[in-house]
């Protein structure tokens, strides 16, 4: 397991150092906005806020409400694309 965790750490490190992580982040954000995921999530946020009250809503509230739904709502195409890119990176840079 430690080997595993060490490998993970290495990979993560490489991902960050080479800027691939940031590139992937940007790619994901762009794709999610493009496919309308962001607007969907915003609408959901509005409901949550109206529910909780405008004055008292906190970041935690939003995170708790939004994240599970967000994960579920990511379109398959976007998911596939991202997985593909991560795999490519790993195969390129894994030991």
> Would you tell me which residues interact with another protein (CB under 8 A)?
4, 7-8, 11-12, 15, 21, 24-25, 28-29, 32, 38, 41-42, 45-46, 49, 54, 57-59, 62-63, 66-67, 70-71, 74, 79-80, 82-84, 86-88, 90-91, 94
> How many residues are present in the chain?
95
Question: From CA 40, how far away is CA 83, in angstroms rounded?
Answer: 23
CB-nearer residue toward another protein: 18 or 80: 80
- For residue 55, give the 3-state DSSP assignment: coil
The minimum distance between CB 92 and another protein, in angstroms, equals 12
The minimum distance between CB 31 and another protein, in angstroms, equals 10
Determine the angle formed by the axes of helices 2-17 and 20-34, rounding to 10 degrees: 70
Question: From CA 20, how far away is CA 50, in angstroms rounded?
Answer: 38
């Amino acid at each position: 397991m430690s080997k595993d965790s060490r490998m993970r750490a290495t990979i993560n490190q490489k991902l960050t150092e080479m800027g691939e992580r940031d590139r992937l982040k940007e790619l994901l954000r762009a794709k999610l906005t493009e496919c309308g995921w962001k607007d969907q999530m915003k609408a959901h946020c509005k409901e949550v806020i109206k529910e909780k009250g405008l004055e008292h809503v906190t970041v935690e509230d939003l995170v708790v409400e939004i994240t599970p739904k967000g994960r579920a709502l990511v379109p398959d195409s976007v998911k596939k694309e991202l997985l593909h890119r991560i795999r490519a990176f790993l195969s390129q840079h894994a030991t």
